[in-house]
């Protein structure tokens, strides 16, 4: 079976830091590298940022737009220009590409998530390189990604990629932001979940002027991707050709080992793509049953409900101290759960006048925190 690789390139790499104009040499080398990988039989997806940055340059704006409407308008200007450059370069190399614009909303909806999966498979079977970006022009504020790091990890999980490359404007992750701290130590390898969580706890929040995420979102992307069995590498975007050496085992960038791809695809969708809209607080017995024995959640173990949600939406399950232990899709709305919490399942028809399910969350619809 051929390998699948997802390469994400940030605004800081597709544009010139001084002028904001397109970094043509970088994009050309990236196109050559990805075309070579494709010709070697790999399935390749490119996630490219830059719509807003390129739109700003086209419209002579000196900084990123501060209002949503302006950002959406500027991204619409830049995206066309960006894809045109990619199409020109890849066409010269006789490599067909496709533009795929996604929103978080579509990755939350199970049916559109499955549709996106099928579309990617068809494009990859056709030996096309899909070029993905967030559909900034229609994304709503409460549910946008903002940066493409998280989205590229969800795409890598969706297609069960072997590798995710996060190309940025530093050569790897450091113990602190190297722009501000000359003593920052390079980090070459991250092997365990615990090491990754410690890095996440220490990560600074600053990014470059045009990028949005900084290292915080790259570490979150690494958590999602490695949890889905995808090896993840943070490396310099100005040298895309190094992807070849990394695939041959060279120690370049920061390399995160993949965890075993344990959960099935639907459970990964619940764990990473959904955005929980409420919280259920559980008593000690329910926490133990779920965490240690993988049981379903019954109304008897619920002590408190936060938020307003409908049946079928995603919620977080918390212990009595508010620590998340799992998340899942609820069979009842928040209003119904407030009535049945603390009661045995056989009381549900007496209280509500009907029963939708014995469980509030069935174990098939639940994942423990990864
Ligand atoms: N611990 C760190 N190690 C490396 N870079 C860091 C770290 N913390 C913050 N950064 C900053 O993150 C920036 C890259 O993030 P960002 O600008 O969002 O890039 P991109 O546009 O590629 O997504 C770097 O220029 C660097 O200044
Ligand atoms: N979708 C947006 C991504 C914004 C952005 O700057 O992202 P990144 O450079 O990946 O931190 C765009 O194309 O402008």
Q: What is the DSSP letter of 259?
A: P
Length of the chain: 370
Q: For 125-149, what is each residue's pLDDT tens digit?
A: 999 999 999 999 888 777 788 789 9
> Of the bound ligands, which one is closest to the alpha carbon of residue 172?
1
pLDDT digits (tens, 9 = 90+) for 12-35: 999 998 888 899 999 999 999 999
In CATH, what is the architecture of 4-267?
3-Layer(aba) Sandwich (3.40)
**Helical packing angle, 51-58 and 68-92, nearest 10°:** 100
Domain 276-368 of CATH type 3.50.50.60: no
Domain ranges of the chain: 4-267, 276-368
pLDDT at 202 over 80: no
d(CA 74, CA 61): 9
Q: What is the model's pLDDT at position 258?
A: 96
- Cβ proximity of 257 and 250 under 8 Å: no
CA distance 87 to 180: 38
**What residues have CB less than 8 Å from 250, skipping those under 6 apart?**
242
Rounded mean pLDDT, 187-210:
79
Nearest to 229 by CA among 121, 332, 156, 149: 156
The CA R_g of the chain, rounded to the nearest whole Å, is 22
Residue with the two structure tokens 């995710």: 164
As a whole number of angstroms, the distance between CA 151 and CA 102 comes to 9
- Which ligand is nearest to the Cα of residue 181, counting in written order? 1
DSSP code for 148: S
Tens digits of per-residue pLDDT, 334-367? 999 999 999 999 999 999 999 889 999 999 999 9
Using CA atoms, how far apart are residues 362 and 298, in angstroms rounded to an integer?
9
Q: Which two tokens stand for residue 366?
A: 């639940």
Is the pLDDT reported for residue 210 higher than 80? Answer: no
Band of pLDDT at residue 206, cut at 50, 70 and 90: low
C-alpha–C-alpha distance, residues 78 and 272, integer Å:
29
| Residue 74 predicted with pLDDT over 60 | yes
Mapped onto helix, strand or coil, the DSSP state of residue 305 is: strand
Give percent above pLDDT 70 in the chain: 96
The packing angle between helices 193-202 and 214-227, to 10°, is 160
The pLDDT of residue 63 is 86
Task: Please say if the pLDDT value at position 186 is more than 80.
Answer: yes
The arithmetic mean of pLDDT across residues 209-236, rounded, is 87
Give me 115's structure tokens: 């549709």
- DSSP 8-state class, residue 25: H
ipTM: 0.94
Confidence class for position 370, pLDDT limits 50, 70, 90: low
With cut-offs at 50, 70 and 90, classify the pLDDT of residue 62.
confident
Is pLDDT above 80 for 204? no
Distance 141 CA to ligand 2 centre (A): 15
Tens of pLDDT, residue by residue over 297-345, are 999 999 999 999 999 999 999 999 999 999 999 999 999 999 999 999 9
For residue 206, how far is its CA from the centre of ligand 1 (angstroms)? 7
- By CB atoms closer than 10 A (0-12, 13-18, 19+), residue 349 is exposed
Q: Ligand 2: which of 52, 71, 81, 165 to mutate, most ligand atoms within 8 Å of CB?
A: 52
Q: CA 155 to CA 131: how far, in whole Å?
A: 11
- Which of 214, 222, 237, 239 for a ligand 1 pocket mutation test, highest count of atoms within 8 Å of Cβ? 214
């Amino acid at each position: 079976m051929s390998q699948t690789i997802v390469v994400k390139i940030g605004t800081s790499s597709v544009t010139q830091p001084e002028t904001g104009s397109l970094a043509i040499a970088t994009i050309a080398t990236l196109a050559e590298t990805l075309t070579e990988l494709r010709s070697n039989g790999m399935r390749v997806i490119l996630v490219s940022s830059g719509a807003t940055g390129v739109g700003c340059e086209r419209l002579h704006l000196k900084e990123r737009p501060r209002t949503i409407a302006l950002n959406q308008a500027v991204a619409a200007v830049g995206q066309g220009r960006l894809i045109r450059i990619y199409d020109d370069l890849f066409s010269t190399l006789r490599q067909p590409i496709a533009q795929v614009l996604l929103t978080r909303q579509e990755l939350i909806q199970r049916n559109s998530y499955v549709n996106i999966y099928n579309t990617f498979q068809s494009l990859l079977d056709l030996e096309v390189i899909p070029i993905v970006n967030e559909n900034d022009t229609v994304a709503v504020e409460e549910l946008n990604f903002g940066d493409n790091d998280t989205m590229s990890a969800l795409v890598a999980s969706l297609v069960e990629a072997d590798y995710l490359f996060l190309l940025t404007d530093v050569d790897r992750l450091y113990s602190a932001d190297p722009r501000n701290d000359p003593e920052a130590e390079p980090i070459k390898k991250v092997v365990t979940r615990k090491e990754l969580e410690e890095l996440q706890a220490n990560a600074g929040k600053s990014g470059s002027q045009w990028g949005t995420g900084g290292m915080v979102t790259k570490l979150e992307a690494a958590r999602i991707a490695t949890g889905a069995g995808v090896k993840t590498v943070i490396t310099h975007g100005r040298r895309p050709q190094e992807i070849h050496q990394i695939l041959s085992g060279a120690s370049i960038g920061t390399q995160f080992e993949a965890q075993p791809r344990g959960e099935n695809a639907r459970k990964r969708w619940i764990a990473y793509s959904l955005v929980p809209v409420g919280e259920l607080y559980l008593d000690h017995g329910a926490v133990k049953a779920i965490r240690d024995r993988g049981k379903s959640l019954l109304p008897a173990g619920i002590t408190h409900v936060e938020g307003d949600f409908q049946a079928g939406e995603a919620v977080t399950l918390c212990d009595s101290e508010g620590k998340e232990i799992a998340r899942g899709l609820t069979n009842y709305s928040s209003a119904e759960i407030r009535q049945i919490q603390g009661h045995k399942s056989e009381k549900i028809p007496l209280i509500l006048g009907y029963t939708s399910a014995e469980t509030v969350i069935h174990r098939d619809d639940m994942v423990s925190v990864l």
